[in-house]
Amino acid sequence: MLARFNYLFRSTKGLVLVAIALIALVTAIWGTLSGPMVEWGVRDVTVRALGMQLHPAEREGRIIMLYHTIAMAVVAIEVYLITHLVPMKPHEPGIINGTITFGYISSMVFGLAFAYFGHHFVFHGLFLFGQSLVFFAGLLLAVALWPWREAYHIRDPRYAHAGRIDLERTAFFVMAVATLGSALFGAVTGSYWGNGHETFLAEDLIREPHKTPLQLAIIGHLHIMLTLIAVALALIIGRWFDYQGPLHKLSMPLMIAGTVIITLGVWSVVPFEPFAHTIIYVGSVLILLAALFLVIYGFRKIIHDRLAEQGIQQASFWQGLGALLHDPLRFGSLWQMVYMNFTVSGVGIFMAVKLDEIFRVWPAREERIALTGHWHILSGIIATIILLYYADMAGLKGRIRQWFGWLVIIGSDIAFGAVTVFEMKRLFVSESAQQPLVNWTMALADLGLALVLTVLAVLMVWRLLDLFKRQGRWQVEFEETALPDVGSEMADRLPPAREVAS
């Protein structure tokens, strides 16, 4: 029992598994409270079975707490991966991961308890306490990522550097600091709740000509937090691919500058709203360029590695394409970033360009659908990239790897594509004639999401059953990624950093 506990809470792979499992559980239960599940009557069953209390006036507050609990777990997964991939003092991963684990689980359990099962204010206090721990873990992470420590100076010129400073590490550091500041941006505003600040969903205020500074701050907070989660993930995926070379040297300065500019742009939305969007656009372009270079590098690397495995010197186009697609987990993690441009960035830019001409002619509730679909897709894409990476970490091989990878990619892309068409349906059909299109897009979205959730459920059940084995995969993973005890012999060793090793 203790060995399994150690695996789940004291190894990177175990911690990631716990967080994914908890998110899957929350998604499975709370996903029944909206959309087609309401139409099919499943919500009523869930509410009755679990004794949920859903007062209509508290819907927005409940949703905000639900988003926060899931976001905390996603942030925790990224922190686990960063402490695993980025060199730091050996005792630091254990402290950071322990703090954030206690924090996100507290905020998840007590946040959901407060929001859905009665308003005991002890629950609310513990929800905030959990979030505070997550913030504190972020502070520790920023300290651990400090790029100017001599031990972390770059020694391999293939990686982006400025002098001896590792620019990739700097990008992680900047992202962490920007995230901490942006969390405060929301937290300070939240502290005015009941004292001049009222609960709202950003999509409900889109057309208000006069927004209060507190409303602007919250709108900025939610946008920048999701952006920074995406930035962190792009950096993590770069590490997975051992991103290096000329494109790496272009990407990292762009990522650093983009992160700084977009963060300052969002923070400036309160005092300088008319200019903030221009600053944000500049930062977005830099980050998107950095991610584009990562995708180009990654695709090339996948092809190169596969062709080398096959011993092919001069590959045809089809051999190259076959090599690119042979591993859906690695291909998918980058492809989803490309697909995001069709379903999120592209749609967002189109909306911005045609806002007054098209979208602001529609009723606000139609525009609201486009906005909520937009960021649900972005969150979903982030989730699928994490899943694909985790599946690789979990050692999926052979046909299972193929099935899992392709079902996640195809299922999610069908769903996200269908939702994008649904969001934009007024471009193609009038309200009076929309029903067939609505039926088809909703059916495809449900089908795609069902595929993804089914393979996720299978993966989770497999990992659960594995825990009951005496010599299961969990034991191998524990040995691979166990965190050193603070003060142990292992903790005194130098980090197994690529910089130091090379």
Partner 1 sequence: MKRILFPACLLIVLLTGCAPPAVGGPPPLVETGIDPESWARIPAGEFLQGQHDHETRVDYDYEIMVTDVTNAQYARYLNEALAQGAIHLTSEGVVGPYPGDEFRGYQHEEPVKAGDYLHIPLDDPGLRLSWDGETFAALPGYQNHPMVLVTWFGARAYCQFYGWRLPTEVEWEKAARGTDNRAYPWGDEIARNQANYYSSHDLFEKIVGGQGDTTPVGFYNGQTYNGYQTLDGASPYGLYDMAGNVWQWTGDVVEGAHYRYMRGGSKANYEYNLRVWTRNNAAPWFFSPNVGFRCARDAGD
* Residue with smaller CB distance to partner 1, 2 or 57: 57
d(CA 62, CA 47): 14
Residue carrying the six token digits 């989803």: 336
* Residue with smaller CB distance to partner 1, 274 or 398: 274
* Residue with smaller CB distance to partner 1, 434 or 475: 434
d(CA 346, CA 331): 21
Which of the ranges 54-62, 76-84, 242-250, 342-350 carries the binding residues for partner 1, by CB under 8 A? 54-62
Q: Pick from 195, 313, 316, 432: which binds partner 1 (CB under 8 A)?
A: 432
Q: Is 421 in the site for partner 1 (CB under 8 A)?
A: no
Q: Is 430 in the site for partner 1 (CB under 8 A)?
A: yes
Number of amino acids touching partner 1 (CB under 8 A): 38
- Rounded to a whole number of angstroms, the minimum distance from the CB of residue 49 to partner 1 is 18
Q: Pick from 151, 296, 349, 443: which binds partner 1 (CB under 8 A)?
A: 443
Q: Are 499 and 156 in contact (CB under 8 A)?
A: yes
Q: Pick from 319, 341, 434, 475: which binds partner 1 (CB under 8 A)?
A: 434
CB burial of 433-459 (b: ≥16 within 10 Å; e: otherwise) equals eeeeeeeebbebbeebbebbeebbeeb
CA angle 239/69/385 to nearest 5° reads 30
d(CA 410, CA 189): 40
Q: Pick from 9, 67, 192, 362: which binds partner 1 (CB under 8 A)?
A: 362
Q: Pick from 24, 257, 285, 442: which binds partner 1 (CB under 8 A)?
A: 442
The residues in 271-300 that bind partner 1, with binding defined as CB under 8 A, are 274
Q: Pick from 355, 429, 464, 490: which binds partner 1 (CB under 8 A)?
A: 355
Which of the ranges 5-13, 90-98, 319-327, 356-364 carries the binding residues for partner 1, by CB under 8 A? 356-364
Q: Pick from 313, 318, 433, 471: which binds partner 1 (CB under 8 A)?
A: 433
The H or E element spanning position 166 is strand 165-166
Give residue 158's identity as a one-letter amino acid code: R
d(CA 172, CA 167): 9
d(CA 460, CA 456): 6
| C-alpha separations of 492 from 7, 148, 185 in Å | 22, 20, 37
Give residue 479's identity as a one-letter amino acid code: E
- Helix count and strand count (H, E) for the chain: 20, 2
Task: Tell which residue, 372, 326, 371, has the closest CA to residue 352.
Answer: 371
**In DSSP terms, which residues pair with 193 in a beta bridge?**
197
Q: Is 210 in the site for partner 1 (CB under 8 A)?
A: yes
Q: Pick from 296, 438, 490, 494: which binds partner 1 (CB under 8 A)?
A: 438
* Residue with smaller CB distance to partner 1, 3 or 429: 429
Task: Tell which residue, 268, 293, 76, 89, has the closest CA to residue 171.
Answer: 293
Q: Is 397 in the site for partner 1 (CB under 8 A)?
A: no
* Residue with smaller CB distance to partner 1, 365 or 470: 365
Q: Is 55 in the site for partner 1 (CB under 8 A)?
A: yes
Q: Is 427 in the site for partner 1 (CB under 8 A)?
A: no
Give the single-character DSSP code of 192. Answer: T
Q: Is 360 in the site for partner 1 (CB under 8 A)?
A: yes
d(CA 110, CA 145): 30
Q: Is 38 in the site for partner 1 (CB under 8 A)?
A: yes
Site track 98-137 with partner 1 (rule: CB under 8 A), x = hit: ----------------------------------------
**In DSSP terms, which residues pair with 162 in a beta bridge?**
165
Site track 462-491 with partner 1 (rule: CB under 8 A), x = hit: ------------------------------
d(CA 273, CA 269): 4
d(CA 447, CA 410): 11
Q: Is 51 in the site for partner 1 (CB under 8 A)?
A: no
- Rounded to a whole number of angstroms, the minimum distance from the CB of residue 356 to partner 1 is 6
Q: 166 Cβ partners below 8 Å, 6+ apart?
A: 147, 152, 153, 154, 159, 160, 499
Structure tokens at 363: 């009723």
Cβ count near 262 (within 10 Å): 25
* Residue with smaller CB distance to partner 1, 196 or 346: 196
Site track 58-97 with partner 1 (rule: CB under 8 A), x = hit: -xx-------------------------------------
Q: Pick from 157, 196, 271, 363: which binds partner 1 (CB under 8 A)?
A: 363
* Residue with smaller CB distance to partner 1, 207 or 469: 207
Q: Pick from 2, 39, 314, 398: which binds partner 1 (CB under 8 A)?
A: 39
Alpha helices in 341-434 (DSSP H): 346-353, 364-393, 398-423
**In DSSP terms, which residues pair with 463 in a beta bridge?**
none
- Rounded to a whole number of angstroms, the minimum distance from the CB of residue 210 to partner 1 is 7
Task: Give me the residues that bind partner 1 (CB under 8 A), please.
Answer: 34, 38-39, 55-57, 59-60, 198-199, 204, 207, 209-210, 274, 355-356, 360-365, 430-436, 438-440, 442-443, 446-447, 450
